[in-house]
Structure 1
Amino acid sequence: MKTGDTKRRMIHIRFPKCTLTAVAGLMVSTTLLAQTPAKPKVQTSAKPEQTTVFVGNTKGGASKTAKAKPEEKNTKNNNNKTAKARQGGKNAKASLKRGNKRGSKESLNGRYVALKTNVAYDALALMNLGLEIQVAPKVSVELPVIWSLWDYEQEHGIRTVAIQPEARWWMGRETGYGHYFGLHAHVAWFNVKWNDTRYQDTERPLLGAGLSYGYKLPLSEHWGAEFSLGLGYANMKYNTYYNIDNGACLDTRVRHYWGITRLGASLVYRF
């Protein structure tokens, strides 16, 4: 056999061995790659900054969780601030309701309205009823009506119809509570029997005006007590008669009076 033929045969023998070696290496690599577990893909609807990252298994088999990113911390802080703001708003509304509980008692679109009777006049058998309405901030107007159409006995009696309107300025923050100053006027028709003399107005009623001071004390949600004292002037023209049936007229007098013109201890109902 020639030398050239021997070399060609050796080349043909070596080539299949190299090919088999390469194929065997490729199979081993493929097997190793197949045995290496791939990272699991987690499908989630959470935002990227809210996603939990698994680092790997520890010795105990538990997994570690990556720390939250700054964006997640800011989101939590914003949520806490929002919750505090909502709670603060609720507390503010509750405080406002408590603070306005007293002021919201004013009826008729926020106006102070009250009905009252003067107990001091009632004790003298002088029936009376008054209505007070707020007309401006800290300002109210009262209109009491006083009447008595009967005698106590043969020698004593007061028959009268009178009105005494008054404008009031309240010193407190709310109308209808605390101290006030008032300006009042009075008009009265009268026929008074006292001992041996009877006094009766003539030509015109009693007229006058004065200043007053008072204080309103709340007793409950609707009830209260009011105390007042007024000083002023009254002018009257009247006839005097013998205090008997069809008694003769004695004289006609005109009197200018200075002194107490208003005295009250009233029971008040606030609407």
Structure 2
Amino acid sequence: MFKNYLHSILFTVIAFMCSLFTLNAQKAAVKTNFAYWGAAASPNVGLEFSLGKKSSLELGGGFNLWDFKDNRKAKHWLAQPEFRYWFCERFNGHFLGLHAHGAQFNIGNWDIPVGRLEKFKDRRYEGYLYGGGIGYGYQWILSPRWNFEASLGAGFARIHYDIYPCAECGTKLGEGKYNYWGVTKAALSLIYFLK
């Protein structure tokens, strides 16, 4: 199920990106989010395309497909597109964003003694989420081909999950649903422009 779902999402994203290149190829950038690398040890990439003088579309995502030491798991994939409105001009200065997100996860055996995250120590959670939010950010021009971006977003995620007794064993203990309201996006990104 995971592979079929991932393949259909990848096909849709690639088809959409190809249509954007034919519509407006004068400004496109590739980026990576250092905050995502640090928080989840996850490779990630984003593509951002100009849609007009004051608008752009970012197609971002990341994944983590491996186990950590002591059989800790943080396996997941995430897709998070965002429409951006720029106050001055695209790829320069302040912007507001409207983003959506979808993810699939398998997380467990982490000792994080903070609020809701303490549950990950003795349980494994497997499931998916979807939702959206709004954000604010700023891009600094570093050179004609390089920018740096800081952004933060908040919104909603509907989470569906199955619960297992430990990180690698046991039968399903139950399932649940959870409505999350809070931070849904955080980025410190280095950007390279494809001209």
Question: Deviation above 6 Å: which 4+ runs of structure 1?
Answer: none
Aligned AA for 1:213? Answer: Y
Counterpart CA distance in 2 for 1:244 and 1:169 is: 42
Aligned twin of 1:222: 145
Aligned AA for 2:158? Answer: N
Aligned twin of 1:142: 58
Gapped runs of 5+ residues in structure 1? 1-107
Aligned twin of 2:187: 264
By percentage of residues, which structure has more helix?
1
Alignment of 1:181-260 (within 5 A): 181-193=96-108, 194=110, 195-201=121-127, 205-260=128-183
TM normalised by structure 2 equals: 0.78
Displacement, 1:111?
3.2
Q: Highest Rg: 1 or 2? A: 1
By percentage of residues, which structure has more strand?
2
Aligned twin of 2:82: 166
Gapped runs of 5+ residues in structure 2? 1-22, 111-120
Displacement, 1:137?
2.2
Aligned AA for 2:124? Answer: R
Counterpart CA distance in 1 for 2:142 and 2:101 is: 29
Query: What count of residue pairs does the alignment treat as equivalent?
Result: 160
Aligned AA for 1:234? Answer: A
Aligned twin of 2:73: 157
Aligned twin of 1:133: 49
Displacement, 1:156?
2.3
Please, what is the CA RMSD of the aligned residues? 1.6
Matched, 1:120 2:35: yes
Report 1 or 2 for greater relative contact order, CA contacts < 8 Å, sequence distance ≥ 6: 2
Displacement, 1:251?
1.4
CA deviation vs aligned residue, 1:45-93 (integer Å, no higher than 9, x gap): xxxxxxxxxxxxxxxxxxxxxxxxxxxxxxxxxxxxxxxxxxxxxxxxx
Is the alpha carbon distance of 1:110 and 1:164 closer, same or farther for their aligned partners in structure 2, counting shifts above 3 Å? Answer: closer
* Contact 1:155 1:243 survives alignment (8 Å): no
* Contact 1:139 1:175 survives alignment (8 Å): yes
CA deviation vs aligned residue, 1:17-61 (integer Å, no higher than 9, x gap): xxxxxxxxxxxxxxxxxxxxxxxxxxxxxxxxxxxxxxxxxxxxx
What fraction of aligned residue pairs are identical, expressed as a percent? 41
CA deviation vs aligned residue, 1:189-208 (integer Å, no higher than 9, x gap): 1101132111001xxx3110
